Chains A and B, each alone.
Chain A
Amino acid sequence: MTRQTATKERAPGRLSLRRYVGDLGIVGYLIRLAILLIFAIYFVVPLVWLLFATTRDPNSLYTSWFPFTFGSIDRLVTSWTNIIGYQNGEMLLWLGNSIRYAGLSLLGSLAICIPAGYILAIGRFPGRRVLLWLTLITMLLPVSAMVLPLFLELNLAHLINTQWAVILPAMFFPFGVYLSYVYYGSSLPRELVDAARVDGCSELRVFWDLALPLARPLLGLLAFISFNANWNNFFGPYVMLNDDKLYNLPVGLNSVVAATSALRPGFNPTPGATSFVQADAAMAAMFMIVPVVIVFMFSMRYVTSGAFTGGVKG
């Protein structure tokens, strides 16, 4: 420690390359930078292209590959009004549905996953291993196997073609239970739990007063994963809902694209179909993408807060 402080004091405020690259080494520094930037291009360029595609007519798309090419405000306005006006504003309806389905499923799955993951990691009770195995099995269950039984089950409860046919199955989220299990298992200091137990805390109290407040990073991550999974849920709503007023965005987007030739130049859409182009399709995609980005911004603050360090010391 003292050695580091001494080095810092020797050159106050002076920029030195060696100090800048630090313990990465110069070659290491460059390799790290190159890898990170190449991946940045891979992740970002398609999105930038999509964003700008909402402003570009087909002609512009064919003449310039440059992802930052701006088309025209007119085209952007046309894309916006086309999508907003699609079937008398159904897009906004689907957006609202998506927010409601994903939000309610999220709250439900958090309330179920976190206690279950905690007790699987900390508790030692008969049936724990069975529950872990069942979690793994249900994660692996193919959608194609589940769709019909789920449909029949929800039909029996008269829930088909209601929002609950989407929300209730989505609250069962074994992936989230596993993440909570891994998180508590690897990050919650056992001494802390044992100490609380010795002090006479009930299992419920240990969870509520100790484990839950320590779960901030987990909560953010889990919230995002669950929201994302529900937001993009295609198969469930596709099968469970037949009233297009109840669709969520993925199913709605599918119906938009299937009704156009935007992605199939030269393909003749059925008579009466909308004459959307790529810009409109890109705008429709934006409706799906932007809300998730917003949720991400919020949940990321929890994830990176790193509230876990120093749990034992305190």
Chain B
Amino acid sequence: MSYLLAAPYIIFMAIFGIGPALYALLMSFSKFSAGVPQYWAAGLDNYSLAFGDSRFFQVFGNLLEFLIVSVPLGIGFVVLLALLLDMRPGRFSSALRLLYFIPGAVTGPALVLLVICILDPTISPFGPLFHFVGTTNFDGLVFPDSLPFVFTLMGFFSGAGMWIAIQHGGLQGMSKEVIEASELDGCNAWQKARYIKLPYMRPYIVYQTILIFALNVQLFVEPQLLTSTWVQANVPPQWAPNQLAYSYAFDVGNFGAAAALSLLMLAIGLAGAVVMIRLTGFFKLEA
């Protein structure tokens, strides 16, 4: 009976998740000459090609920097804001939650478009601030070393509101009795947040950590549009692993190498996720 409820999901997973993934695995061992695949013909050639590429360690280094910056900052500030808003439920908090959320409507190409304008000190609404810290042009804000922070700011701008709403939705499930009991015990708002609500939010924080990690590993559209397609920013054309794989597939036509690189990404992503699951007990929901 249980399977009946899970059946549609299992079917879609097989067709649009596991199936294509297995085919990608097959592709990574295949040779593509003139677009015709020769299965298993490449052996490990595609993997050694990817490993041997001088850009390989560069793009994974970039991604690692981005993850180190974006994951802790993103989660820390989201949890902080969610708790601060929850201290005083009411019109003001609801209005702010809405305000924080609206940028969630801006992602992908629209987000890149907006960020290009905002990071151009000559037209930006934050222009005076940029001038104050001594930056007068776009290249002074967007350059290789600043990119992990630029992408973090972009992601937080458009994603934080949604996560705040998720954390808020989670907090709504909290029993009123527990809160009332803590008030009778003399807890103030800060103590309630720290000792009652924060532990309660744990499964949602873990969920967010895993998802932010999974989403950020996928970074593609932002660097792609920023570097090559829309503006010639001072950024290497292949900054993220996804871009390198895309370049293998669509610039060079080597789908095998693209698949091999993608699977290496998956392996690294999974290793990271497993570490986090071990640390956080992701599958154990019962707190």
Binding site for B on A (CB under 8 A): 1, 22-25, 28, 32, 35-36, 39-40, 42-50, 53, 61-62, 65-67, 111-113, 115-116, 118-121, 123, 125, 129, 131-132, 134-150, 152-153, 168-169, 171-172, 174-175, 177-179, 181-183, 185-187, 202-204, 207, 217-218, 220-221, 224-225, 228, 232, 234-235, 250, 253-254, 257-258, 263-264, 267, 278, 281-282, 284-285, 288-293, 296, 300, 303-304, 306, 308-310
Contacts and interface: CB of A to CB of B under 8 A. Distances in A.
Given A116-B6, A224-B162, 4 more contacts: A25-B188, A132-B283, A186-B285, A228-B162
Contacts of B286: 185
Interface in B231-287: 231-232, 241-242, 245-246, 249, 255, 258-259, 261-263, 265-266, 269-270, 273, 277, 283, 285-287
Contacts of A152: 23
Contacts of B190: 24-25, 28
A131 B17 contact: no
Contact of A115 (B6, B203, B249): B6
16 contacts: A44-B99, A45-B125, A125-B2, A141-B17, A142-B262, A144-B220, A145-B262, A146-B24, A149-B19, A186-B204, A204-B4, A250-B109, A254-B229, A258-B230, A264-B232, A300-B165
Given A142-B245, A172-B16, A293-B105, A45 B218 contact: no
B5 A119 contact: yes
Interface of A is mostly: helix
Given A45-B126, A144-B242, A179-B166, A169 B109 contact: no
Instruction: Classify chain B's interface size.
Output: 35 or more
Given A179-B207, A234-B221, A263-B230, A145 B157 contact: no
B172 A43 contact: no
Contacts of A45: 125-126
B23 A144 contact: no
B135 interface: no
A146 B258 CA distance: 10
B179 to A, nearest CB: 10
B105 A144 contact: no
A201 B109 CA distance: 49
B115 to A, nearest CB: 8
B96 A217 contact: no
A137 B204 CA distance: 19
State the 6 A-B residue pairs at the shortest beta-carbon distance, nearest first.
A145-B262, A185-B285, A292-B105, A149-B20, A116-B9, A187-B173
Given A50-B114, A138-B13, A28 B20 contact: no
B8 A112 contact: yes
A227 to B, nearest CB: 10
A48 B2 CA distance: 49
B141 interface: no
A138 B18 contact: yes
A149 B18 CA distance: 11
B198 interface: no
Contacts, number: 324
Interface of B: 1-6, 8-10, 12-13, 15-21, 23-24, 27, 77, 80-81, 84-85, 87-88, 94, 96, 98-110, 113-114, 116-118, 122-128, 157, 160-162, 165-166, 168-170, 172-176, 184, 187-190, 203-204, 207, 210-211, 214, 217-218, 220-221, 225, 229-232, 241-242, 245-246, 249, 255, 258-259, 261-263, 265-266, 269-270, 273, 277, 283, 285-287
Contact of B172 (A67, A169, A185, A306): A306
Contacts of A47: 102-103, 106, 114
A24 B114 CA distance: 37
Given A32-B87, A39-B100, A144-B246, A296 B105 contact: yes
A221 B80 CA distance: 20
B8 to A, nearest CB: 5
Contacts of B6: 115-116, 119-120, 123, 131
B168 A144 contact: no
Nearest to A214: B173
A190 B2 CA distance: 16
Contacts of A220: 169
Contacts of B101: 296, 300
Contacts of B166: 179, 221
A175 B9 contact: no
Nearest to A220: B169
Nearest to A42: B157
A221 B168 CA distance: 10
Contact of A228 (B104, B218, B245, B269): B104
A113 B5 CA distance: 10
A186 B2 contact: no
Contacts of B20: 141, 145-146, 149-150, 153
B102 to A, nearest CB: 6
B176 A309 contact: yes
A231 B255 CA distance: 28
Contacts of A24: 87-88, 188-190
A43 to B, nearest CB: 5
B242 A36 contact: no
Contacts of B124: 49, 65
B108 A234 contact: yes
Contacts of B4: 203-204
Nearest to A221: B169
B8 A303 contact: no
